[in-house]
Structure 1
Amino acid sequence: MKHNILYSFRRCPYAIRARWALLNTNQLVELREVDLKKKPIELIEISKKATVPVLKTSLNQVIDESIDIMIWSLKESNMDALLFKNCKSQEILSLIDLNDKEFKYHLDRYKYASRFNYQELKTHRDACYEILLSLNNRLKSFSNKGKPLFLVDAKESIADWAIWPFIRQFRIADISRFDQNHEIEFLRNWLNYFLNHEKYHIVMKKNKPWDKESKPIFFGQ
């Protein structure tokens, strides 16, 4: 194999952040859209979890965690400054950990309440908003100092890349409520930076599920 292959699913926030990192670090990747109800044997053979995203590199290394894919792409492109090699690195990791564990837990039970307990929808939505407010306050503090709206030290980092797809998913659950909530004004502006980014439509482009007969789709081309 002479190129990298990414098994992905368009709407999955974990896959979105992996694609975002790969695209923004200029990694040439063959994109294979996965039908989650009919996963290709090629994916199952290289990853026991068989959950997207999974990256198989040109050197046959298999990376099946989205954050590890992001870190790999940054290091391969000599853009690991976005990882912050100082005291801020722990701050970045803490924000991502909060998102991936606590926020995602409540997000699933809010957005997909019918699969869990619909009566607890408000409880989980409020728990999400509490986290969103904390992120908003971080951004507000930077804005008050005239600095850019990014989550750590007012500088774009892997924390921003890793978290925005999940905030996007939360917004989709009730767009009007999210867009009209002035308590998270700074967070909305931060999210809009990504939603209006020139590369957003590339990351979110619809592709047919991959099979052996499919012509290769090279990500970003």
Structure 2
Amino acid sequence: MTTASLPILYSFRRCPYAMRARLAIGAAGLRVELREIVLRDKAPEFLEVSPSATVPCLVDVDGTVFDESLDIMTWALERDDPERWLSPEGGDRDAMIRLIGDIDGPFKRHLDRYKYDTRYPDADRVGERSAAADILRKLDAMLAGRDWLFGTRASLADFAILPFVRQFANADRAWFDGEDWDSLKRWLVAFETSPRFEAIMRKSGRWSPEDPPVIFGGDL
């Protein structure tokens, strides 16, 4: 079953990239048909449309496919951006995009080699954690005395980055909580305890074509 009038979002609840997509769709007040994918046994329908075979993947009602999380965030927010995520305080959108790039590039590399060190024979887990932490300390400095990375309101950067900071923190929460980055911890906890986070983390079963549609969005 499907809802032809709605875009389709192939997602995986715990994936930080997919969390990004759901955050932006919710913030834009859009509704999509949510299809939860099991990564170890991906649905053929998903593999037919996703060029990378990774989540998130959004299929718009006209058939256009968006296969990158930031592209999906932009797609949603260009339709409606009531919280002005695409316009950070100070107006420096380029700086915001560069910051997200630092997380998607160097930080994500260190995070993977820290969290999944057994997959990388040359990885030094403690060294990778230390390198990732150096990047997070820059975020902590940005957050000192304010609630969001670019000022008094959230921007795209906050919700593009928070899922990955959460993933890093949960690799060893006791260690993370023991570090001296109070602004970073406050920012993360505020996210984890927010109605927005609760809304994107609601569980749904593995999608099957025979299932009734699961609608996501409109309440974040």
Q: C-alpha offsets along residues 15-73 of structure 1, whole Å, 9 cap, x if unaligned?
A: 01111111121110111000112211221221221210001112222111100110111
User: Aligned partners of 2:149 and 2:166: how far apart in 1?
Assistant: 16
Matching residue of 1:173: 171
Say whether residues 1:156 and 2:154 are aligned partners: yes
Asked if the contact 2:114/2:123 (under 8 Å) is kept, the reply is: no
Query: What letter matches 1:185 in structure 2?
Result: D
Determine the structure 2 residue equivalent to 1:104.
108
How many residues are treated as equivalent by the alignment?
Answer: 214
The Cα offsets for residues 74-94 of structure 1, whole Å up to 9 and x where unpaired, read as 111144832128751011001
- Is the contact made by 2:10 and 2:58 (CA closer than 8 Å) also made in structure 1? yes
Matched, 1:41 2:44: yes
User: Could you tell me whether the CA contact under 8 Å between 2:103 and 2:161 is conserved in 1?
Assistant: yes
Matched, 1:214 2:211: yes
Percent identity of paired positions between Structure 1 and Structure 2: 40
Q: Does 1:77 align with 2:80?
A: yes
Structure 1 residues 119 and 6, CA gap change in structure 2 (3 angstroms): closer
Shift of 1:168: 0.3
Q: Is the contact made by 1:71 and 1:80 (CA closer than 8 Å) also made in structure 2?
A: no
Within the candidate set 174, 196, 200, 2:193 is matched to: 196
RMSD: 1.7
- 3-state SS of paired residue (2:33): strand
Q: Secondary structure at the match of 1:15?
A: helix
Q: Secondary structure at the match of 1:58?
A: coil
Instruction: Determine if contact 2:51/2:67 at 8 Å carries over to the other structure.
Output: no
Of Structure 1 and Structure 2, the greater helix share is in 1
Q: 8 Å contact 1:74–1:80 — kept in the other structure?
A: no
Task: Determine if the alignment matches structure 1 residue 7 to structure 2 residue 21.
Answer: no
CA deviation string 1:119-178 (max 9, x = no partner): 6001100001100101001111xx0xxxx3111244310000100000000011011111
Task: Pick one of 76, 94, 98 that aligns with 1:94.
Answer: 98
CA distance in 1, matches of 2:83, 2:45: 30
The alignment's TM-score, normalised by the length of structure 1, stands at 0.91
CA distance in 2, matches of 1:199, 1:139: 20
Deviates more, 1:39-48 or 1:94-103: 39-48
Amino acid at match of 2:216: F
Worse overlay, 36-45 or 158-167? 36-45
SS in 2 for 1:186: helix
Any idea what the Cα deviations from partners look like across 1:164-208, whole Å, max 9, x if unmatched?
A: 000000011011111122x21000101112101112122112221
Partner SS, residue 134 of structure 1:
helix
Tell me, in whole angstroms, the C-alpha distance in 2 between the residues paired with 1:119 and 1:194: 30
Contact 2:27/2:81 (CA < 8 Å) preserved in 1?
A: no
2:198 partner amino acid: H
Question: Unaligned 5+ residue runs, structure 2?
Answer: none
Distance in 1 (CA, whole Å) between partners of 2:64 and 2:83 is: 19
- Distance, in Å, in 2 between the alignment partners of 1:123 and 1:78 is 39
The alpha-carbon distance between structure 1 residues 195 and 80, as it changes in their structure 2 partners (threshold 3 A), is closer
Matching residue's letter, 1:75? E
Contact 2:113 2:123 in 1 (8 A): no
